[in-house]
Amino acid sequence: MRRSEAPPAPKDERLPLEPRIKLWVEKDGRLVLSDYRVRLLRNIAETGSLAEAAQRLGLSYRRAWGKVREMERNLGLELVHSEVGGAGGGSSRLTPQGERLVALYGRFRRAVERDLGKEFHEFFQR
Amino acid sequence: MRRSEAPPAPKDERLPLEPRIKLWVEKDGRLVLSDYRVRLLRNIAETGSLAEAAQRLGLSYRRAWGKVREMERNLGLELVHSEVGGAGGGSSRLTPQGERLVALYGRFRRAVERDLGKEFHEFFQR
């Protein structure tokens, strides 16, 4: 504002701009999937343990468990199957539905990022 | 978790899910455009007054002015031209660059929303 002394930018100037998004999925207005939540599920799949997945993400076990329960409740699907007890203190794994959602979300996210870059180029960088 | 008594969902179940995004544009890691910022610019264009635009968005004049200055500084472009004084207390209007960015962002946003819906359908609702 009031910088009329600045020379006008050339019309074809290409600003080094970058589009960014935050992506999530709602069901009935409730958050059910997000990068963060899907990362939690992925870590459960990788470690076979909710405790280890929580630790990797710097969450308390209780909080991680609450997130999974919340997702399951909001989706109306079982995503994680846990077996309690044994010498190792139990284990957790994704259900087939959980695996499917994690895979779908990952592909969806990559497709959205790809489209985003394409549209941005179309509108801002041609 | 541990809801093995629940019946498995049918494979072709279509969840009433909805994708959501928050969109913004950065330059050198700094936020330069967002829905909120572009709404401020649009309101300046509509009212011809930064004070009125600020009021419409529930912002103080000072805060609205700061947002505009911040965008201009981060983009290195003049977006709003203000004329001080006169009986009406001055007026503000978008520069041609400001108008162009507002129009581009609006079209970009609509394209991203359209793509988002398409990809979501592709991955989650087929």
The CB-side HSE value for B60 (13 A sphere, CA atoms) comes to: 3
Contact B124 A108 (CB under 8 A): yes
CA distance A25 to chain B (A): 4
Q: What is the ipTM score, two decimals?
A: 0.78
pLDDT 10s per residue in chain A (126 long)? 554 444 544 444 556 889 999 999 999 889 999 999 999 999 999 999 999 999 999 999 999 999 999 999 999 999 999 988 766 667 999 999 999 999 999 999 999 999 999 999 988 876
**H or E element at residue B30:** strand B30-34
Of B69, B82, B95, B23, residue with least CA distance to A115: B23
What are the φ/ψ torsions at residue B30 (nearest 5 degrees)? -110, 135
Q: Which residues in chain A touch residue B111, judged by CB atoms under 8 angstroms apart? A: 119, 122-123
Give residue A91's Cα distance to chain centre: 23
Contact B123 A112 (CB under 8 A): no
Rounded to an integer, what distance in angstroms lies between the CA atom of residue A60 and that of residue B10? 33
- Measured distance between the N- and C-terminal CA atoms of chain B, rounded to whole angstroms: 27
Whether pTM > 0.90 for this model: the answer is no
Rounded to an integer, what distance in angstroms lies between the CA atom of residue B68 and that of residue B94? 11
Q: Which residues in chain B touch residue A21, judged by CB atoms under 8 angstroms apart? A: 21-24, 112
Rounded to an integer, what distance in angstroms lies between the CA atom of residue A115 and that of residue A103? 18
The band of B84, judged by pLDDT with boundaries at 50, 70 and 90, is: confident
Residue of B nearest to A24 (CA): B20
Contact A78 B3 (CB under 8 A): yes
Contact A32 B17 (CB under 8 A): yes
Task: Considering only the beta carbons, identify the residue of B2, B25, B97 that sits closest to A82.
Answer: B2
Six-digit token string for B28? 């050198």
Rounded to an integer, what distance in angstroms lies between the CA atom of residue B23 and that of residue A112? 12
Evaluate whether A58 touches A39 at the Cβ level (below 8 Å). no
Rounded to an integer, what distance in angstroms lies between the CA atom of residue A110 and that of residue A102? 12
Report CA Rg, chain A: 21
Q: Which residues in chain B touch residue A81, judged by CB atoms under 8 angstroms apart? A: 1-2, 4
Contact B21 A22 (CB under 8 A): yes
Contact B16 A28 (CB under 8 A): yes
